[in-house]
């Protein structure tokens, strides 16, 4: 696989460490969470293999381009509309979470409209950027910030505040039957590679997914799932962790940099994860924007003025929906609707893989 595909996968994993995912996992800690996460780990490797194998037959082509070749437009339009909405919501739920985090921990005196406006304006520039530029920006952020993120996470493993007895207690529930919500939520960690439904147009060579790639994705999944679930339990305890809204914020605040310029790691932790999550939002909305663009394109000979109007209208819709939803949603609503979204996402993934299988059969025939 291209190194950029790994970047997409890891950025999605990192962004969801602080989002609604961990809270959902902790809410089902006594209802089969561990078995569900193990199943999602293996299935996550499988869906990555199935996705890369499906696109192997279409090097340098995005999903809309493939649909234009093998599917009637009246069939492809509903597909692109559904996928565009799913990707938009993926970015929106991360955006809402991080706006709330900023207002709680970094800028409590700032208005929600001001904070959201700053986010959306910058994100909008990223949305209309060229896909290649976004990937290079993602690589730059990874090179600069990911080593620090890994350092602070590894430091948590050796923190004196962590109690491995709580981790052992959590593992005693391994014999409970699996839970679908936990399975679908954990599986969402592995869906970063699905951004290639648009970005595959940049990968001109056929990608492979062999034993080496599967092992790497598996190890990334093991590290992410274990860290996301067990480390906060070890630091905060098993009994009351499901009542904490942002468990990873309190977990990161348990360590100190004794000789650092900023002693409380939580501020550095927030800024690093915020930067990576910000790019994750940009990528999700960039994918969504391109999917919607392919739905609403009128003619191939559309003038530059017509394309500009279409772009502006789509951006306005993105802004309006983001403002309305962010202002209206409460913490409980975000948790509830995120649960619905993760459950639906599993169905969409299966449907998308089924669609790609059909397209592969048509291409071979």
Percentage of the chain with pLDDT > 70? 93
Q: What's the rounded mean pLDDT across residues 297-316? A: 69
Average pLDDT of every residue of the chain? 84
Q: What's the rounded mean pLDDT across residues 52-71? A: 87
* Whole-number Å distance between alpha carbons of 296 and 43: 34
CA distances from 248 to 1, 16, 29 (A): 31, 11, 16
Report if pTM > 0.85. Answer: yes
pLDDT band at 299 (very low <50, low <70, confident <90, very high): very low
Between residues 263 and 306, the one the model is more confident about: 306
pLDDT given at position 70: 86
Name the residue range of residue 270's domain.
3-364
Q: What's the rounded mean pLDDT across residues 138-164? A: 82
Q: What's the rounded mean pLDDT across residues 161-185? A: 87
> What is the per-residue pLDDT across 240-276, written as a single tens digit (0 to 9) for each?
787 777 787 777 777 666 654 455 666 777 778 788 8
pLDDT given at position 331: 77
For residues 186 and 42, is the Cβ–Cβ distance under 8 A?
no
> What is the per-residue pLDDT across 176-199, written as a single tens digit (0 to 9) for each?
888 999 999 999 999 989 999 998
For residues 284 and 90, is the Cβ–Cβ distance under 8 A?
yes
Q: What's the rounded mean pLDDT across residues 218-238? A: 88
CA dihedral 227, 137, 53, 297 (to 10 degrees): 120
pLDDT band at 204 (very low <50, low <70, confident <90, very high): confident
Structural domain count of the chain: 1
Percentage of the chain with pLDDT > 90? 18
- Start-to-end CA distance of the chain, whole Å, equals 26
Q: Give the DSSP H/E element, type plus range, for residue 316.
A: helix 304-328
* Whole-number Å distance between alpha carbons of 14 and 149: 9
pLDDT given at position 218: 94
Give bridge partners of residue 194 from the DSSP assignment: none
pLDDT given at position 39: 94
pLDDT given at position 19: 75
Q: What's the rounded mean pLDDT across residues 140-163? A: 81
> What is the per-residue pLDDT across 139-151, written as a single tens digit (0 to 9) for each?
888 888 878 878 8
CATH of the domain at 65: 1.20.1740.10
Q: What are phi and psi of 264, to 5 degrees?
A: -80, 115
For residues 41 and 183, is the Cβ–Cβ distance under 8 A?
no
Residue 40 has pLDDT above 90, yes or no: yes
| Length of the chain counted residue by residue | 365
């Amino acid at each position: 696989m291209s190194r950029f595909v790994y970047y997409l996968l890891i950025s999605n994993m990192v962004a969801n460490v602080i989002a609604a995912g961990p809270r959902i996992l902790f809410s089902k800690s006594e209802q089969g969470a561990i078995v569900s996460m193990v199943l999602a780990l293996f299935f996550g490797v499988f869906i990555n293999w199935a996705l890369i194998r499906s696109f192997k037959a279409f090097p340098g082509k995005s999903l809309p381009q493939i649909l234009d070749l093998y599917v009637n437009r009246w069939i492809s339009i509903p597909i692109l509309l559904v996928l565009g909405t799913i990707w938009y919501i993926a970015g929106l739920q991360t955006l809402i979470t991080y706006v709330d985090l900023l207002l709680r921990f970094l800028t409590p005196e700032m208005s929600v409209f001001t904070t959201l406006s700053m986010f959306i304006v910058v994100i909008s520039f990223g949305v209309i950027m060229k896909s290649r530029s976004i990937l290079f920006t993602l690589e730059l952020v990874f090179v600069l910030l990911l080593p620090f993120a890994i350092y602070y996470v590894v430091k948590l493993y050796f923190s004196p505040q962590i109690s491995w007895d709580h981790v052992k207690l959590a593992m005693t529930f391994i014999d409970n039957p699996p839970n679908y919500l936990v399975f679908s939520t954990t599986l969402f960690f592995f869906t970063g590679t699905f951004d290639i439904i648009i970005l595959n147009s940049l990968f001109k060579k056929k990608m492979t997914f062999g034993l080496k790639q599967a092992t790497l994705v598996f190890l990334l999944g093991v590290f992410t799932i274990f860290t996301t679930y067990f480390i906060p339990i070890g630091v905060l305890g098993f009994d009351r962790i499901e009542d904490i809204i942002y468990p990873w914020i309190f977990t990161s605040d348990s360590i100190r940099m004794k000789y650092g310029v900023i002693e409380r790691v939580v501020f550095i932790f927030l800024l690093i994860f915020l930067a990576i999550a910000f790019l994750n939002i940009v990528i999700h909305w960039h994918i969504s924007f391109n999917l919607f663009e392919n739905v609403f394109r009128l003619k191939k000979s559309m003038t530059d003025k017509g394309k500009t109007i279409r772009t502006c209208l789509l951006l306005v819709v993105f802004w309006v929906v983001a403002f309305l939803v962010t202002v209206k949603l409460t913490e409980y609503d975000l948790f509830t609707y995120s649960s619905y979204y993760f459950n639906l996402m599993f169905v969409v993934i299966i449907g998308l893989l089924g669609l790609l299988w059909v397209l592969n059969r048509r291409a071979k025939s």
